[in-house]
Amino acid sequence: MATVSRLCVTPVKGLALLDRDEVELTRTGVPDNRRFYLLNEHGKLFNGTKDGPLYSVRSATDADGEHLRLEFEDGRIVEGPVSLGRRKFTAFWGRPVWGNVVEGPWVEALSELIGKPVLLMRAEDPGGAFDDSPVSLLSDASLEELARRSGAAEVDARRFRMLVHLAGTEPHEEDTWIGRHVRIGETVVDVIYQDARCRMTTRNPDTGVKDFDTVREIKGYRGLREGKYADFGVYANVVEPGPIRVGDPVEPV
């Protein structure tokens, strides 16, 4: 039987991933996962594919997003209570996300790091700043298959920034779950479609430096869906909320 092998979150979208032994899954996702997000100087969703230094910044927040801590690679820590400013709408690839501007020292520190101004936002929905759907799934076997096909010793799972990682499956078995409900521990999710990968996955998850052409390698053995999408992993919506723990069984129902 398949099991949960790893759980990864990031309180601020685009910053370093953090491993968890357990998460609480709600209808809108894990409350402190991607609760915050960045906008560029034009008020558009910040494009993390171009700014690797953010990968080195670790973040932490509470379930309500009322306190935020950023830990930078040089040892600096910027933290404090979250004060909210104006409400603002942002388009996440066609999906509407409402949030509030976060006022405080974090913006200056992040802008200085990447050398350009950014705006920090807190999503109104806990965990609401996900790319497409609140749950993403990827099997360890799929990663091993990508490594084998590309001739790499291994492929770091963090490149793909997925919430739930799976052990005990065949390569890309998660694709066969599309259109089905899947029980993960005490939760149930509805697997809806494949996850089309972008150039963000080509960056080393520690340094942010481009060092492996994931999109080319996926395309090389899987082809492109509709002639343009290099799929790897799947997205899901939440049917029955609850806790998910590393080691939990995973089974289509």
- Model confidence at 207: pLDDT above 90: no
Give the integer Cα–Cα distance in Å for 21 and 84.
30
How confident is the model over 200-227, as a mean pLDDT? 93
* Residues 221 and 161 reside in one and the same domain: yes
Contact 29, 127 (CB under 8 A): yes
The answer on 189 and 87 residing in a single domain is no
Is residue 138 domain-shared with residue 112, that is, in the same domain? no
Question: Is 109 inside a domain boundary?
Answer: yes
Distances (CA, A) of 56 to 36, 90, 202: 16, 25, 16
- Number of domains forming the structure of the chain: 2
Question: Which domain does 50 fall in, by range?
Answer: 35-123
Task: Provide the CATH number for the domain around residue 178.
Answer: 2.40.33.20
Q: What is the pLDDT of residues 13-50, one digit of tens each?
A: 999 999 999 999 999 999 999 999 999 988 898 866 56
For residue 19, being part of any structural domain is answered with no
| Predicted pLDDT at 146 | 98
Q: Is the pLDDT of residue 53 over 90?
A: no
User: Are 202 and 237 found together in one domain?
Assistant: yes
Choose the final residue of a domain: 123, 156, 189. 123
- Same domain, yes or no: 91 and 141: no
Residue 26, token pair as written in the block: 């709600």
Whether residue 47 is contained in a domain is answered as yes
Asked whether residue 26 is domain-assigned, the answer is no
- Which pLDDT does position 93 carry in this prediction? 80
Mean pLDDT of 53-74: 95
98 and 140 within one domain: no
Beta bridge partners of 70: 59, 78
pLDDT of amino acid 49: 55
Cα(115)–Cα(53) distance, rounded to whole angstroms? 10
Q: How far apart are CA 120 and CA 19, in angstroms?
A: 23
Phi, psi of 86 (to 5 degrees): -65, 155
For tokens 């491993």, name the residue: 19
97 and 206 together in one domain: no
- Domain check: are 91 and 139 in the same one? no
Residue 245 pLDDT exceeds 80? yes
177/56: higher pLDDT: 177
Residue pLDDT, tens place only, 138-152 = 999 999 999 999 999
What average pLDDT does the segment 192-202 reach?
93
Mean per-residue pLDDT for 193-206?
92
Which comes out higher in pLDDT, residue 48 or 203?
Answer: 203
Q: How far apart are CA 179 and CA 32, in angstroms?
A: 27
Question: Exposed e or buried b for every residue in 200-236, given b needs 16+ CB within 10 A?
Answer: bbbbebeebeeebebbebbbeebeeeeeebbbbbbbb
Q: Look at the chain and count its residues.
A: 253
Residue pair 97/90 in contact (Cβ under 8 Å)? The answer is yes
Which pLDDT score is estimated for 208?
84
Residue 70 and residue 180 in one domain: no
Provide the pLDDT for residue 48: 62
Residue 22 placed within a domain: no
107 with 148, same domain: the answer is: no
In a domain, 28, yes or no: no
Residue 165, amino acid:
H
* Domain assignment present for 30: no
Longest dimension (CA), the chain: 50
Strands (E) in 18-110, as ranges, are 18-20, 22-25, 36-39, 58-61, 67-71, 77-81, 83-92, 95-103
Q: Which tens digits make up the pLDDT trace of 156-186?
A: 999 999 999 999 999 999 999 999 999 999 9
Q: For 71, phi and psi rounded to 5 degrees?
A: -120, 115
Q: Residue holding tokens 């999710």?
A: 189
Mean pLDDT of 4-11: 98
DSSP string, 26-79: BTTB-TTSS-EEEE-TTSSBP-GGG-GGGGG-EEEE-TTS-EEEEE-TTS-EEE
Rounded Cα–Cα distance for residues 209 and 207 (Å)? 5
Same structural domain, 144 and 231:
yes
Nearest CA among 205, 155, 210, 157 for reference residue 55? 205
235: pLDDT strictly greater than 80: yes
Assess whether 140 and 245 both reside in one domain.
Answer: yes
Share of the chain above pLDDT 90, in %: 85
Segment among 26-30, 89-93, 177-181, 224-228 with least mean pLDDT: 89-93
Tell me whether residue 27 is in a domain. Answer: no
| Gap between the Cα atoms of 130 and 231, Å rounded | 17
